[in-house]
Amino acid sequence: MKILPIPQKSENVSGSFAINGNAKMFCDSEFIAQAEMLADLVYESCGFFLQFTDVITEAQIIFSKDAALPAEGYVIMINRGIATVTSSDKAGAFYAVQSLRQIFNLDVKQRRIACADGYVEDSPRFAYRGFMLDIARHFFGLDVLKTLVDVMSQVKLNVLHLHLTDDQGFRLQIDKYPLLTEIASRRFGSEVNRNGETYVDDVPHEGYLTKQDVRELVAYASARNVDIVPEIDLPGHFVAAIAAYPDLSCTGSVSEVRKKWSASKDILCAGNDKSYRFVNDVLDEICELFPSRYVHLGGEEVAKDRWCNCKLCRERMADLRIDSLEELQTHMIEMFRVHLEEKGKTVIIRNDGVTKNTDKRVVSQLWTATKHRRASYETVSGRPLIVSPRKKVNFNHDYNVATMKGVLGLKPFRGIRKADRDNVLGIEGAIWTQRVENEEQLFFNILPRLDALAECAWSKRRKDFYIRLQKRLAYYDKAGLCYNGKFVRNAVGNRSDKARQGDTL
Ligand SMILES: [Zn+2]
């Protein structure tokens, strides 16, 4: 049973299974949508429909429920001409379908599906299995996001974190502040590197998600067990919004969406009441749109020069009796955390924005180097953690830097005290898009590193990864997706027609 990510347990047994257009499915009413997905896949690949039946003894494929199985887990038993899928929830049934599509081999000539008899028992290592896409530096719209949800969900990743805002663009429609789309979603040039020379060009770049786009994306992702986590990055990386509403800055003098990639020194003023009203209003509209329990507030790489020289920021610090600019940032996050908590939301921020006074309910995303992580350990200990070591899992890096080997060998608990290991919610990879300008570059960078990430997030086991990866690459070929295929060729020799014969749903 060659499945990626690798299941907790799987074995082949003697015997084989085959179905054709006469096959029928029996389904627990809870899992109709997942069974229909399987029927659609079979129809697209083989041209026949699997019919539903109410009589279990007539069925060759059975979806049933067992509340005792773990969340998102499933069992597949293929034996004596019957494939039985058991799960405790919709996510488990969906993941069973994703495994079946890798197990079932197409026999297009005979218009049937065949596989060896076998048994799979599977459930995730981590509940949070994420990937972040930066759509602020370069915008990617609904179609690309749906494709990303497809490839993520096929390998059982379940969180798409959208970096919606940065110095270089604000990419979400907010009804109360129309200038965020009129001004903040457009920039009139970008830093480029051509022929060894770095300069700012004058090619405009624009785009944003409408509320309708988000509703459509959330529904599409939800059907595939993917949670969309929105991020409004603050108080740094905020220049696009400030360009639209200059009162939000300490100086009031920022006039354009940033073209250079480095982080700006202009940040959200922490002393002005307008800042808090603005962000809370934006968060209110975000909470209406995104059902996720998480809202990411960024918090990284905040140069505090402007706060240091701002009368309002200084007065705020005096009122609060705090003496460090870091604690001023912590105060700001706390104001938004309290606002979001009233709406049932949990805040995530990156670890360099966490201080010892940050509320313990705030999730810390560990993304800076291990050395730094150790140094800041006192501040992140005792709180929920998401592991994202950027040197390993930032897929904007070249494949020679963030290597396949590095992703596969990721040790999620490295540098984390034993007592804190239960606090690790999971793993998240990322792609920052300063140098990723189009869909081809995007998927070339992501695939197949995403498959390696999924393997780490789903399972502790590692075996024959590159052999199992061949079927994924065959799927990417079929779907017309750009990917970097040289790792499989290096690992198992040139991908031959053998892989093609193993084409799956
Ligand atoms: Zn200020």
What are the sequence ranges of the domains in the chain?
A: 9-123, 128-462, 463-505
Tokens of 136: 């602020």
CA of residue 307 to ligand 1 center, whole Å:
5
The reply to whether the predicted model has a pTM over 0.75 is: yes
Name the nearest CA neighbour of 486 among 400, 363, 395: 400
The answer to whether the 9-123 and 128-462 domains have the same CATH topology is no
CA of residue 424 to ligand 1 center, whole Å:
35
Name the nearest CA neighbour of 41 among 129, 150, 120: 150
Tokens of 307: 């706060």
CA-based end-to-end distance of the chain: 15
* Residue 500: predicted pLDDT: 45
Weakly modelled stretches of the chain, pLDDT under 70: 369-378, 489-502
Name the nearest CA neighbour of 470 among 431, 435, 500, 442: 500
* Residue 107: predicted pLDDT: 82
Q: What is the full DSSP assignment across 453-482?
A: HHHHHH-S--SSHHHHHHHHHHHHHHHT--
CA of residue 335 to ligand 1 center, whole Å:
16
CA of residue 166 to ligand 1 center, whole Å:
19
Residues 139 and 85: their CA atoms lie apart, in Å, by: 39
- In degrees, to the nearest 5, what angle opens at C-alpha 453 toward C-alphas 451 and 456? 115
- Per DSSP, the three-state class of 474 is helix
C-alpha R_g of the chain: 24
CA of residue 250 to ligand 1 center, whole Å:
4
Q: Which CATH architecture has domain 9-123?
A: 2-Layer Sandwich (3.30)
CA of residue 308 to ligand 1 center, whole Å:
8
Tokens of 177: 């502040």
Residues 146 and 124: their CA atoms lie apart, in Å, by: 23
CA of residue 7 to ligand 1 center, whole Å:
52
Residues 489 and 493: their CA atoms lie apart, in Å, by: 5
CA of residue 205 to ligand 1 center, whole Å:
29
CA of residue 313 to ligand 1 center, whole Å:
4
Residue 205: its H or E element = strand 205-206
CA of residue 200 to ligand 1 center, whole Å:
29
CA of residue 182 to ligand 1 center, whole Å:
25
Which chain residues have CB less than 5 Å from ligand 1, an ion? 250, 269, 271, 310, 312-313
Beta-bridged to residue 198, according to DSSP, are 193
CA of residue 249 to ligand 1 center, whole Å:
6
* Residue 502: predicted pLDDT: 57
CA of residue 314 to ligand 1 center, whole Å:
8
Assigned CATH for 128-462: 3.20.20.80
Residue 118: its H or E element = strand 112-122
Residues 475 and 45: their CA atoms lie apart, in Å, by: 12
CA of residue 356 to ligand 1 center, whole Å:
23
Residues 33 and 36: their CA atoms lie apart, in Å, by: 5
CA of residue 353 to ligand 1 center, whole Å:
18
| Residue 276: how many other CB atoms lie within 10 Å | 16
CA of residue 306 to ligand 1 center, whole Å:
7
- The tens digit of pLDDT for each residue in 97-132 reads 999 999 999 887 888 999 999 999 999 999 999 999
Whether the Cβ atoms of residue 184 and residue 275 lie closer than 8 Å to each other: no
Task: Provide φ and ψ at 152, rounded to 5°.
Answer: -65, -50
* Residue 376: predicted pLDDT: 58
Query: What are the Cα distances from residue 320, in Å, to 313, 314, 315, 325, 494?
Result: 11, 10, 9, 12, 65
CA of residue 267 to ligand 1 center, whole Å:
8
Residues 404 and 452: their CA atoms lie apart, in Å, by: 7
CA of residue 423 to ligand 1 center, whole Å:
35
- The tens digit of pLDDT for each residue in 175-207 reads 999 999 999 999 999 999 999 999 999 999 999
CA of residue 310 to ligand 1 center, whole Å:
5
Pairing between β-strand 74-79 and β-strand 112-122 as defined by DSSP bridges: antiparallel
